[in-house]
Amino acid sequence: MPSYDFALKKKSTYTIGAKLFLYVLSGALFGLGGMSYFFYRTLENRARDEIRGSLNTQVRAIEAQLSEAERGLRMSSAAVETKVDSGVRDINTYKQLAFNFFQNRPSIAMGYGLSQEPFQFLADRKLFLPYYFVDQKTPEQIGEALSAPNLGIRYVDVASLEDYTQQDYVRLPVTLKKAVLTEPFPWHGITMSTFVVPIINDRNQVIGTTAFDISVTALSTKVQTSVIKDNGYFVILSEKGKLLAYPPNPQKATNLKSYTDIPKLKTLWQQIQHSQAGLILRDGDYWVYQRIKGANWLMLAVVPQSVVLLPVLFITVGGAVGAGIVLAFVVALFVRQLNRRLHPILEECKKLAQADSERLQRLNQSTEAIENQHYKDSSFQTGDEISILEQSFRQMTAQLQLSFEE
């Protein structure tokens, strides 16, 4: 007859404990895997939001400084309009007005000037543009240096140098009748951009302009910081794609190099040049960009993907593995306790099988018939503990029937 002892001694994955361990642990790990994926996505999105937030902070800071400059220009525009409407035609009055606004300029402004359209301020002069600016202490500067107590300041009437009505910094705001920030240009070792506001009278006629020369270099210096976790950098591009800030190689920004000189930017430019904001993952880097209002410049935050993913993966995978180990330990303890409880019962089943075998031998009964009738189930030898218990009860039933037949 088949040996019950063989079934009891066999160690395999067919035991109820092993099945329970595999079923519970595999199901739990599947659930942990799903939770880990969603947790990973949540952390990744949070990191992306952190990059966007850092970029937005820098953009808002630049916009605030440009807004301050625009407010100053509109105040000066109103003051000039009032003088003109009052019939003031004295050249020194307008020179003093320009000087006063220069002294009260915002921190990013390097110079201030106001221009008249032909004969609008002064009846005896077609053009007039008094311009005060910070002395850069470089050779061949235009204008004349002021004496004490105004050392470090220079003055020039730009009308004596050129017909400014043909220059974009006057022609565009006069034509468009709105504020204009010109394309940045090099100026005595720094990068400048002219912020111009037209002076419009009550008859909607442009009678002149008022302007600050903004130090783009000063603005760029303020973004020389990391994006997140001491990693990443900020890039500023002009409307036409000139580099205004580029920390990996500041000299390129100083020389106003184009985006075409940066291979990664060259591939991105066509996609982002007309967009207001967005995020692109390319070549292992996150490129988050946002338009600077009032300047139409584009500011980008560049962060290596590894800076975002490695901490997220560490937290996610570490948490999942830790939870899996704890769960496996708990399930293993439960299975061990279950096996301890089942072991005495299985031992009794073995003893019962041995007793039945001896009884049949004493009665000279053939075990072949019992075996064929009741124990053909293959799970008897290869099944788990529950299968063995089932076979034991079947054997007991069969023996009872034989006892009644006797």
Highest CATH level, class, for 72-216? alpha beta
Cα separation of 147 and 32, whole Å? 77
Place of tokens 């220069």: 102
- pLDDT exceeding 90 applies to what percent of the chain? 51
Same CATH topology for 72-216 and 220-305: the answer is: yes
| pLDDT of 150 | 93
| pLDDT of 319 | 64
Two structure tokens written together for 172: 């565009």
Residue 180: exposure state from Cβ atoms within 10 A (0-12, 13-18, ≥19): buried
Phi-psi region of 367 (alpha: psi -120 to 50; beta: other; left: phi over 0): alpha
User: With contact defined as beta carbons under 8 Å apart, do 35 and 264 qualify?
Assistant: no
| pLDDT of 19 | 66
Two structure tokens written together for 300: 């980008």
Place of tokens 């496996």: 328
Highest mean pLDDT, choosing among 1-5, 74-78, 134-138, 270-274: 74-78
Domain limits, the chain: 4-40+309-405, 72-216, 220-305
- What's the whole-model pTM score? 0.72
| pLDDT of 107 | 92
Q: How does pLDDT run across 331-365, given as a tens digit for each residue?
A: 667 667 766 776 676 666 666 666 666 666 665 55
220-305 is classed CATH 3.30.200.20 = no
* pLDDT greater than 90 at residue 79: yes
Long-range contacts of 373-379 (CB under 8 A, 24+ apart): 373/398, 374/398, 375/1, 375/2
Q: How does pLDDT run across 195-234, given as a tens digit for each residue?
A: 999 999 999 999 999 999 999 999 888 888 899 888 899 9
| pLDDT of 273 | 85
